[in-house]
C-alpha cells in the first residue's frame, strides 16, 4: 500500500517568513495529492490539492509543487501570518483503491510575532 | 451549502456502554469515510462506503466496531461494548465517487470512554 512520510513534524517561523512542508510517497501510480489544515479542536480542512498532470499549483499565499520522478510534493506558504498556525497534513491515494487516502503524520506550524 | 454534519459533537460514557456516532454527508456525494484521530496514531481510516455499500473495512479495529449506511444521506458508526482505548475524535468525510476527489470532513465527534 501507499506510504506517506511528512517532514518536519514541527516548524516555527516568524510572521512574514515562508514555510515549507515536504511529503514523500511510495506508489508511483499515485496521482492526487491534497493538503489539509487542522486548527486546534477543529476538523481537517482542504486547503489545496494537485493532480499529477501539473507540477505546481498556486492559490494566493499557498502553493504546492509536485515532483513525480522523485515522488515528493511540498506545501509552500509565503508571507506567513499568525492565523496560519495549525497542523498541516499531506495525503496520497492508495493504489487500486483511489478513493482511499493515506495521510502523513502532520506538521505543527507555529507562526510567531 | 451545508457541509458534512456529525452528531453528537461530544460524547462521554462509561466503558461497556454502546456508542452510536452519526453522519450526514454532503448532498450529492456518494463516497463516505469514517476516520479516527488520536495523538498516538494520527488520522486512521476505519471504513469507507461507495453508493451506500461498504467497500473496505480493513481499518476497523475489531468486531466491537460496526458501520452502516442505510441510505445516501445517513451513516452510523457503532461501538459495542466501548472501552477506554476507544477514546478519540471520530471524523466522517464525504466526496464524489471515484479517484482524485476531494474529501470534506465533518466537525467530528469527541468521544471519551471512562
**B109 has a chain A CB within 8 A of its CB:** no
DSSP characters for A10-78? EEEEETTS-EEEEEEES-TT--EEEEEEE-TTS--EEEEEEETT-SEEEETTEEEEEETTTTEEEEEE-
Give the DSSP letter of residue B74: E
Give the residue-averaged pLDDT of B105-112: 98
- Cβ neighbours for A89, distance < 8 A, ≥ 6 positions apart: A6, A35, A36, A38, A44, A103, A104, A106, A107, B43
In A28-57, the residues whose Cβ lies within 8 Å of chain B are: 31-32, 34, 36, 42-46, 49, 51
Give the DSSP letter of residue B100: T
Q: Which tens digit of pLDDT belongs to each residue from B53-106?
A: 999 898 998 899 999 999 999 999 999 999 999 999 999 999 998 778 899 999
pLDDT of residue A54: 84
Amino acid at each position: 500500500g501507499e506510504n506517506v512520510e511528512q517532514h518536519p513534524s514541527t516548524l516555527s517561523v516568524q510572521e512574514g517568513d515562508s514555510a515549507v512542508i515536504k511529503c514523500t510517497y511510495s506508489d508511483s501510480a499515485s496521482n492526487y495529492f491534497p493538503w489539509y489544515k487542522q486548527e486546534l479542536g477543529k476538523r481537517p480542512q482542504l486547503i489545496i490539492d494537485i493532480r499529477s498532470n501539473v507540477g505546481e499549483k498556486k492559490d494566493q499565499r499557498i502553493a504546492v509543487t509536485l515532483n513525480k520522478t522523485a515522488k515528493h510534493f511540498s506545501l509552500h506558504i509565503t508571507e506567513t501570518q499568525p492565523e496560519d498556525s495549525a497542523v498541516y497534513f499531506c495525503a496520497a491515494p492508495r493504489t487500486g483503491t483511489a478513493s482511499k487516502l493515506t495521510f502523513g503524520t502532520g506538521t505543527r506550524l507555529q507562526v510567531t510575532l | 451549502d451545508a457541509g458534512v454534519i456529525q452528531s453528537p459533537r461530544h460524547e462521554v460514557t462509561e466503558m461497556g456502554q454502546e456508542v452510536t456516532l452519526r453522519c450526514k454527508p454532503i448532498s450529492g456525494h456518494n463516497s463516505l469515510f469514517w476516520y479516527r484521530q488520536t495523538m498516538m496514531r494520527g488520522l486512521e481510516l476505519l471504513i469507507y462506503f461507495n453508493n451506500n455499500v461498504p467497500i473496505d473495512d480493513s481499518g476497523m479495529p475489531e468486531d466491537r466496531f460496526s458501520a452502516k449506511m442505510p441510505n445516501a444521506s445517513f451513516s452510523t458508526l457503532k461501538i459495542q461494548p466501548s472501552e477506554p482505548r476507544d477514546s478519540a475524535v471520530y471524523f466522517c468525510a464525504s466526496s464524489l465517487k471515484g479517484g482524485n476527489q476531494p474529501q470534506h470532513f465533518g466537525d467530528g465527534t469527541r468521544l471519551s470512554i471512562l
